[in-house]
Amino acid sequence: MLGPDPSWYLVVAAILFSIGAFGVLLRRSPLVVLLSIEIMLNGANLALIGFSRVHGDHDGQIFALCVMAVAAAEAVVGLGIIVAMSRRRLTLDVDQFRALRG
Amino acid sequence: MIQGAWLCLLAPLAGAFAITVMGDSIGRRTAGWIATLAVFAGFGGAVAALVGLLGHGEEEREYVSTAWTWLDTGSFQVGLNLVLDPLSATMMLIVTGVGGLIVLYSVGYMDGDDEERRYFAYMALFVFAMLLLVQGGNFLLLLAGWGLVGLASYLLIGFWHERPEAVAAAKKAFVMNAFGDATMALALFVLVWQTGSLAFAESFAGTEEMSSTALNLVALGLLGGAVAKSAQLPLHTWLPDAMEGPTPVSALIHAATMVTAGVYLICRAHPIFEAAPAIQDLAAGIGALTLVVAGLVALVQTDIKRVIAYSTMSQIGYMFLGAGLGAYGFAMFHLMTHAFFKALLFMAAGVVIHHLAGEQDIRQMGGLRRLMPFTFAAFLIGSLALVGIPPLSGFFSKDGILASALDAGAYGYLLFAAGLLGTLLTGLYTFRLFFVVWGGDPSPLVERHAGGGHGRQSERAASRAHGEPHGGEGPWTMLLPVGILAVLAVVGGWLQIPGVWHEFTHWLEPVAEPLVEPSLGQELLTSSLAVGFGLVGVAVAWLFYGARRREAPDARGVRDVLEHKFYFDELYDLAFYRPAVALSALWRRGIEEPLIGGSITGVTLGARRAGTLVGGAQTGYLRSYALAIGFGVVVLTVVFLAVR
């Protein structure tokens, strides 16, 4: 088998996912939150491809392609919202939007 | 013949229905004419039924006509059936005849009232209900009629619903009558349980096998209904208040027909009462007591209609006395003559009230004699008939009842004495009213209305002013019935002349065989005594109120008692109303508010508090949600791993 052991891929995937998750949790700018989500998705993609390699079939790669499509769509919507927000001159701070507070 | 009976029953119903359905598309007067026509059509049916009955032999004069089986529950069946016999035919004639005249009178009396159509629909409904009561061929239909007349009475007493007193009086009448309806219904339950039938003939036949306790219960329950409907002691307090209704209503319902239903019931159910002699004596005793008490209270009343209302109670007391003694013929005879002269008195009083623009206080009246000679004559005839001066109708019927009391043993003597005292009181209160209203010089109020061509008003200020002026004493629709009833009040008693003929009692004998048969000697003795006492009463009234030779005696204590009507209203207030209010207040404070209301507020308060508590977790920060989700995933993962 070429390349490093598949478990390394999973470690990298986990690191990517965690970086993304902490970004989502800690950052306030919606743009950065969106970027962090993209990183989480790519971490997940990497894990899927790694599993595909382990199992020796293509299911995981197909899943990864689907996730990419979803990520593209999500980026479009998320960026659209952010553009709309900045056009209305709203503060770009996710903590300001807490109308659903109990 | 039987078709006549059905026509009699259904014509007023059709009239009420027609007026209701047509609503605004007919004029107010047209509604009055429809009601009059319907009731007189019923009278035609009653006459046809009477002629048919007369054409048959004495023993064959009982017909039961069943339209269909109304209730069918196993062995217990109730048909929608009419009974046609001399008793019901007599009542039909009185109800539709006097009723028709009174509805005709209403056309003039109520003219211009805002809700005339409603009034006439109610009147026709009442006549139908009363006919159902007297024509029903079983106790259930009788009870249905019994309840319906109560309803019609309630609606008509409260006809002027913008007046709080009228509404209160209507409610009072309804509640008092509901009490009687309830005891009657209980009696019927016992009757069904014991005899398995509510048809008159079968249930009477079944009474022979009933225990005396059950019989007493049934008779007592029926008597309770009769006492409430006929405003006898102790359930009488609604009748004087019922005078808040329009005067023709007082004449029809609270003098001529509905209040006499109790007498009809006792005559109709006489086998049950005869099998329970104690209750029979109780009925006679209640009648005697009522006639004296009502006569005394009538002495101090100042409202023209209330005096006549107490007089009605007193006269129905005579009927109860007669019916309780078993003198059914005489009781029914007095019922009939009373319907004539009491309706006459009420309608003559109505003409006066109408003329004086709604004034009912007799202290404001006086000297009306020259102003309204026709009404004066009618009122005089009615008063004389009420006191029982020969040869007017009251003389023959009242004396028959008193003579029967003489024939009924020691208890009868007591009742006789009460009856004689009653005639004295009757003379006194009747002619007190008569002299105060008609005698003397015209009072200022009368002077003001003497012009004739003034705008008319029906009773009291609550009624609206009517434009159309009139001269004379009133419109012909009012004066004609008064005239006809005056004639009837004179000749109505001649059906039955002691020692000459006994047409009326003989006519009713097949239905209700009398238990007492006064001899000619007893009748003559009674007549002389009763007329003597009546004349003494009249003479005393003349002394105090006619000639005003002397001031009326004014014993403070006695007058207080009488003006408070023997404190019956106060007593009931104290005995029933206040405890009920106190008890319900107690329930409210002790149960309703802390337990039922408290538990509901507790539940809502708890839900609200729990919501506030949980709602604190919802910060609105997107990050905290994401953290919670992530934390949850971690926990779940750890749990899954650990469990595995």
Beta carbons within 8 Å of B351's beta carbon, 6+ residues apart: B372, B375, B473, B474, B478, B479, B482
What is the mean predicted confidence (pLDDT) over A6-18? 91
Contact B397, B342 (CB under 8 A): no
Coil, strand or helix: which one is B336?
helix
Residue of B nearest to A28 (CA): B623
d(CA B64, CA B141): 13
Tell me if B623 and A95 make a contact (CB, 8 A cut-off): yes
d(CA B565, CA B563): 5
What is the predicted pLDDT for the residue at B577?
Answer: 86
- Cβ–Cβ pairs < 8 A, chains A and B: 33
Q: What is the pLDDT of residues A13-26, one digit of tens each?
A: 999 999 998 898 88
Q: With the C-alpha atoms ordered B218, B222, B223, B224, is the resulting torsion angle positive or negative?
A: positive
Res. B31: pLDDT tops 80: yes
Count of C-beta atoms within a 10 Å radius of residue B426: 29
Residue B562's nearest CA partner among B257, B307, B293 is: B293
Q: What is the pLDDT of residues B339-367, one digit of tens each?
A: 999 999 988 888 888 887 777 888 778 77
Test mutation, B612, B622, B625, chain A, max A CBs within 10 A: B622
d(CA B284, CA B130): 24
Res. B59: pLDDT tops 80: no
Q: What are phi and psi of B79, to 5 degrees?
A: -95, 160
What is the mean predicted confidence (pLDDT) over B123-136? 90
Q: What is the pLDDT of residues B377-409, one digit of tens each?
A: 888 888 988 888 888 888 888 888 888 888 877
Res. B470: pLDDT tops 50: no
User: B-chain residues within 8 Å CB-CB of A81?
Assistant: none
What would the two tokens of residue B617 be? 């977790």
- Taking the CA of residue A100 and the nearest CA in chain B, the distance in Å comes to 5
Q: What is the pLDDT of residues B180-194, one digit of tens each?
A: 899 999 999 888 888
For A102, which of B615, B623, B626 is closest by C-beta distance? Answer: B615
- Which range (B229-238, B361-370, B530-539, B544-553) has the least confidence? B544-553
What is the mean predicted confidence (pLDDT) over B529-543? 85
Tell me if A101 and B622 make a contact (CB, 8 A cut-off): no
Q: What is the pLDDT of residues B409-433, one digit of tens each?
A: 788 888 888 888 888 888 888 988 8
Tell me if B626 and A99 make a contact (CB, 8 A cut-off): no
Confidence of residue B461 (pLDDT cuts 50, 70, 90): very low
Tell me if A102 and B618 make a contact (CB, 8 A cut-off): yes
Mean pLDDT of chain B: 84
Q: What is the pTM of this model?
A: 0.76
Tell me if B618 and A94 make a contact (CB, 8 A cut-off): no
Q: What is the pLDDT of residues B290-333, one digit of tens each?
A: 988 888 888 888 888 888 889 999 999 999 888 888 888 888 88
Contact B121, B100 (CB under 8 A): no
Q: What is the pLDDT of residues B69-118, one digit of tens each?
A: 877 777 777 888 888 888 888 888 999 999 999 999 888 888 777 788 88
Tell me if B621 and A95 make a contact (CB, 8 A cut-off): yes
Residue B145's nearest CA partner among B189, B193, B50, B81 is: B81
Q: What is the pLDDT of residues A43-66, one digit of tens each?
A: 999 999 988 888 888 888 999 999
For B627, which of A25, A99, A102 is closest by C-beta distance? Answer: A25
User: A-chain residues within 8 Å CB-CB of B618?
Assistant: 100-102
Tell me if A101 and B618 make a contact (CB, 8 A cut-off): yes
What is the predicted pLDDT for the residue at B231?
Answer: 86
Contact B105, B248 (CB under 8 A): yes
What is the predicted pLDDT for the residue at B464?
Answer: 37
For A98, which of B614, B621, B627 is closest by C-beta distance? Answer: B621
d(CA B384, CA B217): 40
What is the DSSP secondary-structure string of B531-570?
A: HHHHHHHHHHHIIIIIS--SPPP--HHHHHHHHTGGGHHH
What would the two tokens of residue A4 be? 């490093």
Q: Say if strands B76-84 and B63-73 run parallel, antiparallel, or are unpaired.
A: antiparallel
